[in-house]
Amino acid sequence: MTNSGKGPVEVLIVAVPETAGSALYGMLDVLLAAGNIWQTLARTEPEQTLFRVRIVAPTGNAFTCGNGVPVNPDCSVADNPAAGILILPELWLGPDEDIHGRYPELMQWIRQKYREGSTLYSACSGAVMLAETGLLDGRDATSHWGYQDLFSKHYPKVNFRPEPNLVFADEEGRIVSAGGTTSWHDLAIHIISRHGSPGEAVRIAKVYLLKWHGEGQLPYAALVRRTPHADSVVRTCEQWLGEHFQANDAIKQVVDLSGIPQRTLKRRFKTATGTTLIDYLQNLRVEEAKRLLETGQIAVDEISVEVGYEDPSFFRRLFKRRTGLTPSQYSRMFQPVVSASAQT
């Protein structure tokens, strides 16, 4: 899949008013720099153009995308430009907002390009647009972890995987989706490595200080998310657990608080929130442990007791299962971020 030297690979990046400007122009800039920026800075091998990148939109008219960033498309869907690669960058969408019915001609055109042989890539919520085409039905895909409920509700045929940072939907790798908001970094590295060369991908990563997120999305995901529902008993239990999750007998106390049988509460809790009662409690404890680990001021064994676990070994196993990292690995990843924000 690397460039065979027959000229630059034709790349189209789809832009609509919901597109995030940073993802659109960030990807554009990085791909256009492949093959030349390192060579210029290091004064090494001759420069070359690996990718010809253009912005395609539903029409050829200028418009503004996310945060009022101006977009002047190079071509429109009606022009039907050729492309070996079609990229769907991040969209500014709420966690419950799909795009059903907004761009029917664009959806049809994306399906057409796939039939013609284009490789499709989506970054973050760009996977929502890809799902709208129907091309992800029955296939694996990822997006930002915050869109898991959206996919479950609006695109149930998609096998949504919130953990990885990169997911291949087919064996040929012709549909690839990337995870979180800055996942276009990972996607750019992958595209340059695959369609250019692995060496050039490394050079671009060094120039732009891009990091490959091999740890996936789990370390970044919020484990506790409020789900809108009308069950007042469950809402009361959620609020109580949020304040008393450290209690050793938290489950027993919250059952007593509810005034209904434990089995009934567990069933209603799962129906209302989408998660089990014990998982909700464990997620609250892990979230608090993450907060404490980010400060770097408390030992792991002490944190275990602080959040409600007398057995540090059990706590470590639970933390790794929920975040993909050990407590020590998590602390090393995020404690410097907290320290930097505290500097004046």
Query: Could you read off the pLDDT of 106-121 as tens digits, one per residue?
Result: 999 999 999 999 999 9
**Count of residues making up the chain:** 344
Q: What is the pLDDT of residues 282-293, one digit of tens each?
A: 999 999 998 899
The answer to whether 27 and 13 have CB atoms below 8 angstroms apart is yes
Helix pair 250-258, 232-244: axis angle to 10 deg: 150
Cα–Cα distance list, 79 to 8, 75, 107, 280 (Å) = 20, 6, 15, 51
Where does CATH 3.40.50.880 sit in the chain?
A: 9-220
Backbone φ and ψ of 118, nearest 5° = -65, 145
Q: Which residues of 6-26 are buried (b: 16+ CB within 10 A; e: fewer)?
A: eebbbbbbbbbebbbbbbbbb
The answer to whether 178 and 194 have CB atoms below 8 angstroms apart is no
pLDDT at 258: 95
Q: What angle do CA 288, 141, 128 make, to 5 degrees?
A: 90
Q: End-to-end distance of the chain based on CA atoms, in angstroms?
A: 48
Q: What CATH number should be reported for the domain whose range is 232-336?
A: 1.10.10.60
Q: What is the pTM of this model?
A: 0.77
Tokens of 93: 């969408």
| Mean pLDDT (10-residue bins), the chain, 344 residues | 69 97 94 90 82 96 94 96 95 89 95 96 95 96 90 94 87 90 88 91 90 71 76 93 93 95 95 92 92 88 94 94 89 75 50
pLDDT at 339: 65
DSSP line for 120-161 = EEEETTHHHHHHHTTTTTTSEE---GGGHHHHHHH-TTSEE-
Tokens of 74: 């190079």
Which residues fall within 8 angstroms of residue 207, CB to CB, at 6 or more apart?
A: 33, 37, 38, 41
pLDDT at 3: 53
3-state secondary structure of 112: helix
Where does CATH 1.10.10.60 sit in the chain?
A: 232-336
3-state secondary structure of 10: strand
Count other C-beta atoms under 10 Å from residue 54's C-beta: 15
Amino acid type, 204: I
Beta strand 119-123 with 85-88: parallel, antiparallel or unpaired?
A: parallel
Name the H helices within the chain. 21-33, 37-42, 104-116, 126-132, 148-154, 183-195, 198-208, 232-244, 250-258, 262-273, 277-295, 300-306, 312-323, 327-342
Distance CA 280, CA 302 (A): 22
The fold for domain 9-220 equals: Rossmann fold (3.40.50)
Amino acid type, 177: S
pLDDT at 338: 63
Tokens of 242: 């949020």
